[in-house]
A and B are shown apart, each in its own frame.
Chain A
Amino acid sequence: MAENVIEVKEVEKTYYRDRMPIPVLRGLSLAVPEGDFVALMGPSGSGKTTLLNLIAGIDRPDKGRIIVAGTDLGTLPEGQLAKWRSRHIGFVFQFYNLLPVLTASGNVELPLLLTKLSKKERRDHVRAALELVGLGDRMSHSPRQLSGGQEQRVAIARALVTDPTVIVADEPTGDLDKQSATEILDLLGRLNKEFHKTVVMVTHDPRAAERARVVHHLDKGELD
């Protein structure tokens, strides 16, 4: 068995709404081996997205430890955590979250600005990533000129262009028609199989969950 690339240990997280505590995660533990494809399922409010955010290092737990790619995220201050994210995490969002004023290639280039690559190297990486998602001919299109499925593919190109350790996807097919959803899931599957990327995906869609090697069900902040 491969080494665990993600280890979540006894994590608790509580949100407050109008000073009312809403416990989201209650002592949850999870381990994901390197190269795995994990789907997190569960009803709304079960804490799937919270767990994903914690793994991705954009949120911090109240208690417990999260170790991703060998780093205990609790030990990193804000600035270093941002740097860590740029190196280890690729994000795929439900609503793609492309910057509307930049072209497809501009969007994919963004995370590369945080690396030491030269302009030419960045351009080569962007081209390779967009060709991988089948949009080599749409480099200079703006997000508005693309369909939802194409936008999500640009987002996947953006997520993989820095060659991250883990790809986190929050409902990546939630806003797409069946055809586009299948394409996106195929793509994520390819990243996992061909490029051995660890993928953690939150989804409601049972067809999406089928693609995963492991499906975890969350309910009321605990794994079933």
Chain B
Amino acid sequence: MGLLLSYSLRNLAARRMTAAFTVIGMGLVVFVFAAVLMLAHGLERTLVSTGSSDNIIVTREAATSETVSILGRDQAGVVKTEPEIAVGPDAKALTASEIVVLISASKRSNGDAANVVIRGTGPEAFTLRQDIKLKAGRMFAPGTSEVVAGRSVAKNFEGCGLGENVRFAGRVWNVVGVFDAGGSGFDSELWGDAEQVQQAFRRPIFSSVTARLRDPGSFDAMKRRLEADPRLTVEVEREREYYEKQSRATASFIRVIGLAVTILFSMGAMIGAMITMYAAVASRTTEIATLRALGFTRFTVLRVFLAEAFLLGTLGGVLGLVAASFLSLVSVSTTNWDTFSELAFSFSVSPGIIIGSLIFAVLMGVIGGFLPAVRAARADIVNSLRKA
């Protein structure tokens, strides 16, 4: 019924100040709601895009992340000779044995210390991960105390910019290049020569071996064989799944805390909607009675007022989402609780978040508007007309 919908719309327009404040209140809650989801989604997307589906990563059995994984040189050597591994243009197997260590570095913004991942690797690191490009300077030279920095680290940490020096493991390391990993987790790492990192930290071991598969379909067979190999105590995962797992603890933490807080906020917004709708019902007692006298049923009256509450909620939802969409431009960094290292990422929106936020907004409006609508529908015609 177009006329009744326009009746609802015009009533909102007639009380535009109250309606606007209610919409703003709900918009703020939706903003927080969407922001929390965008934060968790951004974190997940960053880590998921860190992995490639053609690559596998081998770590020590039961290690939850590379930072706590140890592989001896002998074990790394066994993995590198597996027949499923692809061969590069230089006729070498496409693998990288890497050592991952955490160091403490100072943030440029406030001087606070935060953990940064140092990845000791080789030139193969770039061949294996083709989305990663050196964007300034040059690659580190093997056998030297040179490192290249991911663009977030270069931007956010003291001494990590191009041409600067950073001190760790008793040495001064020169930053000779900055690479762009397309917003993935590697952007939050420093990469150096594996042998040099092992020596500096006095840790003659690797953390992981990453390899490109010739045929991604051979993964299962290879995993089964390696994990059963008596010489090895390893776990084999697809690189993408490995990084996806890394995002779980932090993303769930953000979601649970964030949503709990938002739901508390939403109670306030619902009460706001309720007050607005009670006021709407009270000021329209005669109108409601007139509609009923003309033959409109209680159910229609209920629908008219729920439609108004629905409109309030929808407007609030759209407002909140428009505001939240600007957050996509903001980059944040936090400690990834799975690796204890600092990870930079952006708020990221998805169709699911948009739909979820709108449903949340509409629910707030409709729940807030329900009791007032019931009151409107139950009002006695004769008494209401007498008040005129």
Contacts and interface: CB of A to CB of B under 8 A. Distances in A.
A101 B4 CA distance: 11
A224 B221 CA distance: 104
Given A113-B1, A113-B3, A79 B297 contact: yes
A103 to B, nearest CB: 10
A62 to B, nearest CB: 14
A87 B295 CA distance: 8
Interface in B1-57: 1, 3-4, 6-7, 10-11, 13-14
Given A58-B382, A99-B287, A111 B7 contact: no
A78 interface: yes
A97 B290 contact: yes
A109 interface: yes
B285 to A, nearest CB: 11
B296 interface: yes
Contacts of B382: 53, 58-59
Interface stretch (A33-41, A88-96, A179-187, A200-208): A88-96
Given A85-B295, A101-B14, A114-B295, A95 B3 contact: no
A28 interface: no
Interface in A101-134: 101-102, 106, 109-111, 113-114
B11 A85 contact: no
A49 to B, nearest CB: 8
Interface string B354-382: 00000000000000000000000000011
A106 B4 CA distance: 10
Nearest to A95: B388
A69 B381 CA distance: 21
A83 interface: yes
Nearest to B15: A101
Interface of B is mostly: helix
A167 interface: no
A111 B300 CA distance: 13
Contacts of A95: 286, 388
B298 A102 contact: no
A59 B386 CA distance: 12
Contacts of A111: 294-295
A11 interface: no
A146 interface: no
Contacts of A101: 7, 10-11, 13-14
B292 interface: yes
Contact of A113 (B4, B10, B287, B293): B4
Nearest to A159: B294
B260 interface: no
B7 A97 contact: no
A86 interface: yes
Given A83-B295, A100-B14, A102-B3, 7 more contacts: A58-B385, A82-B297, A91-B290, A93-B290, A93-B385, A99-B291, A110-B291
Interface of A: 53, 56, 58-59, 78-79, 82-87, 89, 91, 93-95, 97, 99-102, 106, 109-111, 113-114, 158
14 contacts: A58-B381, A58-B382, A78-B297, A82-B295, A89-B293, A89-B295, A93-B385, A100-B14, A100-B287, A101-B11, A101-B13, A102-B10, A111-B294, A113-B1
Interface of B: 1, 3-4, 6-7, 10-11, 13-14, 286-287, 290-299, 381-382, 385, 388
The 10 closest A-B pairs by CB, nearest first: A86-B295, A101-B10, A97-B290, A85-B295, A58-B381, A82-B297, A111-B294, A59-B382, A95-B388, A114-B295
